[in-house]
Amino acid sequence: MDVEEWIKNNIKCCACGKPLKDSKYINGVLLERKAKWKNNTWGNVIAGVSGYAVAIVCDECVKKRIKPKYAVEWDDDKREVRYHPVSELEPMSDREKSLLEMLREDMVGGALAG
């Protein structure tokens, strides 16, 4: 079973709690909250930030723009899935937000400039 199939069969929407098996896409949300775990987190090597939580939401919640209530974690061997309330996770520092925003502006500005 590939990772996409595993996610659709084992992960619930982090916004509404419904199974993802009916979603056409896997919609990952990069949360600006520090993960308390090591697996399946996000970061940016250029900005030097890492270890942030991820949520996965269904197509319907994307359409309705419903924010995730939970971040999701699973272990390396994909035997256990855990959900963490977003409200209980430490927010990203202002310094890291600023670094990511500067990087985003450089990338978008450079793309628009040609």
Q: What is the pLDDT of residue 109?
A: 54
Q: pLDDT class for 15, splitting at 50, 70, 90? A: very high
Report which of residues 54 and 106 the model is more confident about.
54
What residue numbers bound the domain in which 75 lies?
Answer: 3-113
Q: For tokens 């209530």, what's the residue? A: 69
Give the number of domains in the chain.
1
CA–CA distances in Å: residue 98 to residues 28, 93, 101, 106 = 22, 9, 5, 12
Identify the three-state secondary structure at position 73.
strand
CA atoms of 97 and 74, how far apart (whole Å): 26
Q: pTM for this one?
A: 0.82
Q: Quick one: DSSP state of residue 25?
A: S
**pLDDT at 73 > cutoff 70:** yes
**pLDDT at 60 > cutoff 80:** yes
